[in-house]
Amino acid sequence: MCDFDAMVIGAGAVGLSVGAELAEKGYSVAVVEQHDRIGAETSSHNSEVVHSGIHYPTGSLKALLCVEGAQLLEEAAGRYGIPFCRTGKITVASTVEETAVLEHLARQGRSNGVTGVEMLTAAQVSRMEPDIRAAAGLFTPTTALTSAHRLMEVLAGRLSDAGGLLGLRHRVAAVEPRDKTLAVTVAGCPAQRFVCRCLVNCAGLSSDAISTMAGIPCRLHWAKGDYFSLHRKIGVSRLIYPIPGKTGIGIHLTPKMGGGFRVGPDVEYVSRRQPPYSTSAGQASYAPDGGKRRLFWQAARRYLPSLAEEELVPEMYGIRPKLQGPDDGFADFAIRSEPHVAEGRFINCLGIESPGLTACLAIGRYVARIAEEVLG
């Protein structure tokens, strides 16, 4: 006897989207989350940028699901009243040599299906953004800002309206694959055990631990990104990004929807010594690193020369679950049914770093298609 057709581990943006899609298809679904609220981890510690999709190699899941996800998110914003502000973004080359990177991004963006991509001269950049200095720019008008919190509330509402269950304070402690089902043990006194026909791993930073429990050993890298805020009024209305680095898309300047600006994030690979985020009183976790102020100032003043170091105030951080190590090349999202676990009924979502928020609605549909094949 099965308790559910499908169980989803993790109530971040991705797990909620997967749960809502499956419930709306008529499956009995439970989403289980270890914390006492939805989206307590990376889904509430990020830039809330709806990416256009220029940064990812053509044909990769990141490119496909980002472009589709951004369109779905804009539609959902209109339908459900999710804040969505299409500010557009300018990626800036600070030197003439960097212009070649912009041209590559423009070509890649167009072949990924990103619309409106346009190269800008230095004069065009300064006409559009008077406080920004650049040798050239790349304009992507579809980049937007959203509210991750409101998006997740909407997804939790869709899950519940379709009859799906959300179990908060349900920490998965064990996964036991059987022939065509999986038993999931939730920690507690007493522990609870549920049996499902399909299990989807959307556990973010802990998705490697869940995968390992299911018999697919895996180890993710954690890469912290710090943010500083800037409260002075500046003549900037769009997102301003530098040329991307090897492991991140660069310390950028983002107007906040509530006013002010955010500068960051950087990329710092960290050891996994404590819980990633502080979610209950007194629990040790990482913290924003104010000691990086100079590094951030040096990075941001390349395109915002009027920035003074002391204007930057440490604000927040997020941690990326990366398949890509510090010396590795591009790593795509790994979203797949594992053929050797319960005859493919365990679906892994690994390495869901940026653009995971943008892509979450498309990931929900993608995973639901995989699940339908195994559930029938």
Ligand X SMILES: Cc1cc2nc3c(=O)[nH]c(=O)nc-3n(C[C@H](O)[C@H](O)[C@H](O)COP(=O)(O)OP(=O)(O)OC[C@H]3O[C@@H](n4cnc5c(N)ncnc54)[C@H](O)[C@@H]3O)c2cc1C
Binding site for ligand X (CB under 6 A): 9-15, 32-35, 39-43, 46-49, 51, 171-172, 202-206, 225, 265, 318-320, 352-358
Q: Which CB sits closer to ligand X, 206 or 211? A: 206
Shortest Cβ 345–ligand X spacing (Å): 18
Shortest Cβ 266–ligand X spacing (Å): 9
Q: Which CB sits closer to ligand X, 5 or 33? A: 33
The answer to whether 27 touches 5, Cβ cutoff 8 Å, is yes
Shortest Cβ 41–ligand X spacing (Å): 4
**DSSP code at position 221:** E
What are the angstrom distances between the C-alpha of 191 and each of 49, 93, 183, 207?
39, 55, 12, 21
Q: Which CB sits closer to ligand X, 15 or 137? A: 15
Please name the amino acid found at residue 180.
K
The answer to whether 316 touches 278, Cβ cutoff 8 Å, is no
Shortest Cβ 136–ligand X spacing (Å): 24
Q: Which CB sits closer to ligand X, 136 or 371? A: 371
In the numeric block, which tokens belong to residue 121? 């001269």
Rounded to an integer, what distance in angstroms lies between the CA atom of residue 145 and that of residue 83?
Answer: 8
In the numeric block, which tokens belong to residue 353? 């770093």
The answer to whether 214 touches 201, Cβ cutoff 8 Å, is yes
Q: Which CB sits closer to ligand X, 204 or 314? A: 204
In the numeric block, which tokens belong to residue 369? 């298609």
Q: Which residue is nearest to ligand X (CB)?
A: 356
Shortest Cβ 365–ligand X spacing (Å): 15
Q: Give the number of other Cβ atoms within 10 Å of residue 324's Cβ.
A: 20
Please name the amino acid found at residue 340.
H
Q: Which CB sits closer to ligand X, 164 or 318? A: 318
Shortest Cβ 45–ligand X spacing (Å): 6
In the numeric block, which tokens belong to residue 346? 């365990």
The answer to whether 237 touches 253, Cβ cutoff 8 Å, is no
In the numeric block, which tokens belong to residue 189? 């006194």
Shortest Cβ 4–ligand X spacing (Å): 15
Rounded to an integer, what distance in angstroms lies between the CA atom of residue 57 and that of residue 296?
Answer: 27
Q: Which CB sits closer to ligand X, 209 or 313? A: 209
Beta 29-32 vs 4-9: how paired, if at all? parallel
Q: Which CB sits closer to ligand X, 33 or 311? A: 33
Shortest Cβ 170–ligand X spacing (Å): 6
The answer to whether 101 touches 135, Cβ cutoff 8 Å, is no
Degrees (nearest 5) of the Cα angle 315, 320, 326? 110
